[in-house]
Structure 1
């Protein structure tokens, strides 16, 4: 099953209004995320990361226009002010900045997601006021080969007990995505998995 098929089923089964699938940008793996965005189904989410690039404001503005044209939900990583300035729908925070992002999460001008790797960090995100979390790595991933994957059993347990909606992230491909259907995840977030699905000619 494709990531799109699985994420759509998860989102429908668990009755959530957030996007079923998130594409996380990484220009080291794909230099023009706008190309991927043009292929995504309407209602998909995009998290613009690429924190270190020199023209981040310009690229965020360009991406915002593409997302608006294609009916996508745009989140800006780690920068509430930039998210507001380009008209993004939300902001995404790293696990180690969840608590410092308390104000952004509470003013509710933006939807807020947070990266999490432990159950305690899920609880921290809930306390801070996040709307959903991206929990990783579910499977072994090329991006972080040193990280021990949660595996489906632990991911299922944490998702069942989570006070927030959970997205599955990390090592998800068309070969293993179907395993997520046994969990209460509301969708999938991915970098390379989305690139392979929507731009298969690109080496990632």
Structure 2
């Protein structure tokens, strides 16, 4: 690219504020870079931010450094009370991203005629900083979802029922941390309305809300993810549509299914059916021994599914860190709250 001439500002105060804001922007970028590197383990983000920091460093010319104001700076050491309430890495990242954006805006305004190349770089980085802030927030959100998923022991799958919202509410109150909305009979408008209600309940109880099969409904209600069967849309396409922060689960019925789900980047799997299931009557049970074998073949959170209830769950007691997915056992119980509590206690 053709070089652009740098003209020293006629007013030394302008050189001082350019120097100060270059320092401010580069410092803020370093905070952002390190959180992406060490906190999120996202080398792509940290490399990009490091490049921006280096670009600004190259254009931090001596004419700005020599004008530096330190001991005579009337605002040196001044802090703000809000700095004391940044209690999460995300809040620190956002604060520094805002700091970078503000500093770059100042640089843009005061270098348009004297240092057009620096002005151009500051503009490009400022707009890119908006984009990476959103990506980082989505990544953090995805990490939190996966932490919640890992800690789930009972996975509730809904079926059509008149008072479904109340049943799910009672299960959430009892401690369920993931709910899958599975509905085969209602019209789409009814499904969306019901899914929105359930998604809101799950959010209130800091639980995950997943939609079975229907990515369009998952997107419409901003669900936490999607659950797919073996005949459903490929995982790669689902990921492209949903984004990296959403959860994708897949039903598996054999070792090959489990391996494929892991290779495709699914976040969790269901293994089954373990026992005869009222929901999946067409599938033959794979049995407990096959479940144990399947669990040994994957590092993904895996939920045993199919006909599991409080009367046969003791047959799975020998399996460490057992996770189960249930539908009828809770949805059609006389007391969903007590039944959920019972299953959770059996698993702990």
> Is the aligned partner of 1:166 residue 2:302?
yes
Structure 1: 5+ residue runs without aligned partners?
1-14
Output the CA distance in 1 between the equivalents of 2:184 and 2:235: 16
Q: Secondary structure at the match of 2:288?
A: helix
2:270 equivalent in structure 1? 134
Deviation for aligned residue 1:135: 1.0
Q: Secondary structure at the match of 1:38?
A: helix
Output the CA distance in 1 between the equivalents of 2:321 and 2:281: 23
Q: How does 1:117-196 map to 2 (within 5 A)?
A: 117-184=253-320, 186-195=322-331, 196=333
Kindly tell me the number of residue pairs found equivalent between the two proteins.
Answer: 184
Instruction: Identify the match of residue 198 of structure 1 among 317, 331, 336.
Output: 336
TM-score by length of 2: 0.48
Residues 150 and 301 in structure 2, CA contact (< 8 A), matched pair in contact too: no
1:21 equivalent in structure 2? 154
Tell me which protein shows more strand as a share of its residues: 1
Structure 2: 5+ residue runs without aligned partners?
1-147, 340-348
Output the CA distance in 1 between the equivalents of 2:196 and 2:281: 33
Deviation for aligned residue 1:34: 1.1
Q: Secondary structure at the match of 2:293?
A: helix
Q: Secondary structure at the match of 1:39?
A: helix
TM-score by length of 1: 0.79
* RMSD value, Cα: 2.5
2:101 equivalent in structure 1? none
The structure with the largest alpha-carbon Rg is 2
Deviation for aligned residue 1:87: 2.4
Larger RCO, structures 1/2 (Cα 8 Å, 6+ apart): 1
